Amino acid sequence: MDIRNQIENGLTSIGIEFGSTRIKAVLIAKDFSILAVGVHDWENKLKDGIWTYSEEDIDNGLADCFSDLMKNVREKYGTDLKTTSSIGISAMMHGYLAFDENDKLLVPFRTWRNTITSEAAEVLSEKFEFNIPQRWSVAHLYQAILNKEEHISKIKYITTLAGYVHWKLTGKKVIGTGDGSGMFPISVETGNYNEKMLTQFDALTEGTAFNEKIRDILPKIIPVGESAGTLTAEGAKLLDKTGTFGGNINFCPPEGDAETGMVATNSIAKRTGNVSAGTSIFGMVVLEKDLSKRYEQIDIVATPDGSPVAMVHCNNCSTDLDSYVKLFGGVLSLFGVNPPKSELYDKLYEASLTADDDLGGLVSCNYHSGEHVTGFTEGRPLLAKTPDGKFTINNLMRCLVYSAMSTLKLGMDILLLEEKISLDKIYAHGGLFKPPVAGQRYLAAALGVPVELMRSAGEGGAWGIAILADYNVRENKDENLADFLSQKVFANMQGEVLAPTETDIKSFAEYAKKFEKLLSAEKATINSI
């Protein structure tokens, strides 16, 4: 009855996150527990060489996800979800959504998955003396300028996917500090875009068809805890086509999935870190001091409250593994056996736990798309084995999970081994960790540090942005975000901690060496197929 009263009186908060393969909405209570979840599955499309989602995909996916949330609330609590106290929007970071003066999308959305901006990323990194990865919004913009694309002269606004959805719902062209830090470098001192680099970019583009100052086309950064707008009548219709849901609902600043992952794992304070793993995988470490030098493999972004974060982002993680699980499910269906997807994953992960330490000689490359950490612009999934290897389901499954983490290990080794950054443990979340034990155990082996899996791990960033939405309307604004998370959200929430064993560390280290050697075959395969 208390939960029903919270729902009917709008005392809840909602987080909506656009992931690579799923849009998820979560409704949380005042004690931060998850009351209901809505989902919509979707996939990016390769269109004219560009990984993209259409505007129709985004709008319809949002509405379907929210409809599913409302349905689940009705079924669980016997009441309609008509309003809430606050909403937050999160999505895959980076990418490129460019609009003209009439708010018309000029070119199809270019997602983080595209590796088509190497020239721009290299030029900007050298000019700024700051690593600009290929997937950042400014790299996409500058590459389009270098390519002399026709739409460049018409640009009046660029944003991220989270910024776009937030704009559609509130009418506000704004962004959170963390998501903004993946569009253009920000200053830790000001919490805003780096003034020196803004000026440098304008000098670089002077005399080109791009005739705007970059500061004028970027979304306004709204600090965490400040209101970023309210739901409009048009936004309510986009969310809920039945007209049931609405009201003067507050929105927190839209954030990237990396930042909401940090919130969901209570890892925004210095000396904390987390790994998010799904279609892509990335590791985040909140820095106490600057790195000794610039690394192409490492981005510097920000927490939602503006602290610098070293980020190792890998485009490829579970896609190849998922394709094998789907294949095994298809084989079972030939015999009339159709286990639930979650049970299939659980069983296959469980099988991996009894694999041979050398994985029977198996090694795979999980690249479905380009991978900037290792210098690939395209991907071709590979599986290799020795003639006398042990090709068992146990060895294959561990091989696939190891591969999903191997590129991350290459980048994280720079932080943990070369930069000597100390971490007591890493927090983990995301779909790769939904099956118990295995993913957590292998990540601990890859990084050589204990891994804590939070109970909210499977819901990941959708829960994280719901927490930020709740923080936005809390009465005690003197409480900073780190204290709010530690003392309120996670005060009584204990996760499961798993320390790596020497045997697992050695097993993963040997596999990582094979993985690196396999990359030469990956290059040859890309040139051949």
Q: pLDDT tens digits, residue range 390-400?
A: 999 999 999 99
pLDDT band at 447 (very low <50, low <70, confident <90, very high): very high
Q: What is the pLDDT of residue 288?
A: 86
Q: What is the pLDDT of residue 459?
A: 63
Token couple for 329? 């499910």
As a whole number, the mean pLDDT across the chain is 93
pLDDT band at 455 (very low <50, low <70, confident <90, very high): low
Phi and psi at 145, nearest 5°, equal -65, -45
**Pairwise pLDDT comparison (337 vs 115), residue with the higher score:** 337
Give the integer Cα–Cα distance in Å for 315 and 304. Answer: 22
Q: What is the pLDDT of residue 249?
A: 97
Q: C-alpha dihedral over 283, 289, 290, 292, to 10 degrees?
A: -100
Domains of the chain by start residue, with CATH:
94-159+184-217 (3.30.420.40), 257-316+411-498 (3.30.420.40), 319-402+504-528 (no CATH)
Q: What is the pLDDT of residue 423?
A: 84
237 Cβ contact partners less than 8 Å away, ≥ 6 residues apart? 243
SS3 content of the chain, % helix, strand, coil (to 5): 40, 20, 40
Mean pLDDT for the stretch of residues 423-441 = 86
Q: What is the pLDDT of residue 415?
A: 94
DSSP state of 153: G
Q: What is the pLDDT of residue 486?
A: 87
- Report residue 452 CA to chain centroid gap: 19
pTM given for the model: 0.82
pLDDT band at 403 (very low <50, low <70, confident <90, very high): very high
* Integer CA distances (angstroms), 61 to 42, 158, 206, 470, in order: 7, 21, 39, 24
Q: What is the pLDDT of residue 397?
A: 98
Report the DSSP pairing between strands 369-371 and 220-222: unpaired
For residue 476, pLDDT beyond 70: no
Mean pLDDT for the stretch of residues 318-345 = 96
Give the integer Cα–Cα distance in Å for 168 and 158. Answer: 14
For residue 372, pLDDT beyond 60: yes
Mean pLDDT for the stretch of residues 356-372 = 95
pLDDT band at 456 (very low <50, low <70, confident <90, very high): low
Give the integer Cα–Cα distance in Å for 15 and 456. Answer: 14
DSSP state of 210: -
For residue 377, pLDDT beyond 80: yes
Report the DSSP pairing between strands 86-91 and 250-251: parallel
pLDDT digits (tens, 9 = 90+) for 21-31: 899 999 999 99
* Integer CA distances (angstroms), 337 to 205, 211, 331, 333, 429, in order: 60, 61, 9, 5, 30
Mean pLDDT for the stretch of residues 117-126 = 95
Give the integer Cα–Cα distance in Å for 431 and 438. Answer: 12
For residue 195, pLDDT beyond 90: yes
HEC assignment per residue over 67-118: HHHHHHHHHHHCCCCCCCCEEEEEECCCCEEEECCCCCECCCCECCCCCCCH
pLDDT digits (tens, 9 = 90+) for 59-112: 999 999 999 999 999 999 999 999 999 999 999 999 999 999 999 999 999 998
**What angle separates helix 393-413 from helix 341-352, to the nearest 10 degrees?**
80
Q: Lowest mean pLDDT: which of 211-225, 267-281, 314-328?
A: 267-281
Give the containing element (helix H, strand E) for 309.
Answer: strand 308-314
pLDDT band at 289 (very low <50, low <70, confident <90, very high): confident
Return the exposure string of 122-131: e unless at least 16 CB atoms fall within 10 Å of the residue's CB, then b: ebbbeebeeb
* Integer CA distances (angstroms), 43 to 61, 333, 440, in order: 11, 23, 26
- Report residue 518 CA to chain centroid gap: 27
Could you give the angle at the alpha carbon of 299 between the alpha carbons of 297 and 300, nearest 5°? 145
pLDDT band at 494 (very low <50, low <70, confident <90, very high): confident
